[in-house]
Amino acid sequence: MTTTLLTGAGTLFYKEVLRFWKVSFQTVAAPVLTAVLYLLIFGHVLEDRVQVYPGVRYTSFLVPGLVMMGVLQNAFANSSSSLIQSKITGNLVFLLVTPLTHWAWYAAYVAASMVRGLVVGLGVLLVTVWFGPPRLAEPWWIAVFGMLGAAMLGTLGLIAGLWAEKFDQLAAFQNFVIMPMTFLSGVFYSVHSLPSVWQAVSHLNPFFYMIDGFRRGFFGVSDVSPWLSLAVVGTSFAVVAAIALRLLASGYKLRH
């Protein structure tokens, strides 16, 4: 039985990876191009005016933020778009009749989302590194926060896909929750440059800790301790994973 479930989860994972890879020009190349445009515009305007960390060019500072932004947004987009498309087209019924457990569903969707997010992040890094080569001071933090961030956003995408019944609702979730939290997390700036009230608000945003911890891996400096960031991100992931598993187990908006 266990072998059957693992095979089923692996098949679903393969299907989800193939789903985004078949249109990789849209799902991978387009986000990479968007990140390059951000880098060219903000880097050109602010390169000689802003220095966040001593000895670090602004363009170099910007690269890890854009990489992590690509990871987060695309991990969310993969699981959320897959579920809403399956709901609308009606092919979700073919998954519902399988003996897959909610754990298998969760593992397959989130793992595929992580693959897409990390592939996009790697693409952004390979392209933007020519404009502002970052350092690799503590690379283990890059791996930890990259994986955790992709897993958390893949899980949030799963929750959004379960909740939404049409593309408008999914777009609202992305535009009013994911995008603001991403852009207000320090992708383009250090929170220390903000007024004190906005610094306090930023510290309530778990996306800030993902990006700050990820950037720590490149430069060896960060706005807060990477261990604090790890605790916040790890706790946030555990909470959203528990919610997603509970929704899947109950068949929330799936079996009707």
- Average of per-residue pLDDT across 18-30: 94
Instruction: Give dist(CA 160, CA 171) in Å, integer.
Output: 10
pLDDT in tens, 52-103: 777 778 888 889 999 999 999 999 999 999 999 999 888 888 888 888 889 9
Q: Place 256 in a pLDDT band, splitting at 50, 70 and 90.
A: low
Q: Report in angstroms the alpha-carbon separations of 85 from 5, 96, 111, 158, 161.
A: 24, 15, 18, 12, 9
In terms of residues, how long is the chain? 256
**CA-to-CA dists, residue 202 to 197, 199, 224, 236, angstroms:** 9, 5, 12, 15
The model's pTM is: 0.92
What is residue 7's predicted lDDT score, i.e. its pLDDT? 79
So where are the chain's domains? 2-250
Confidence band (pLDDT; 50, 70, 90) for 1? low
Q: Residue 145 has what pLDDT? A: 97
The mean pLDDT value for 2-30 works out to: 88
The answer to whether the CB of 154 falls within 8 A of the CB of 117 is yes
Per-residue confidence (pLDDT) for residue 48, from 0 to 100: 67
CA distances from 130 to 54, 121, 241 (A): 21, 15, 36
Question: Please, what is the average pLDDT of the chain?
Answer: 89
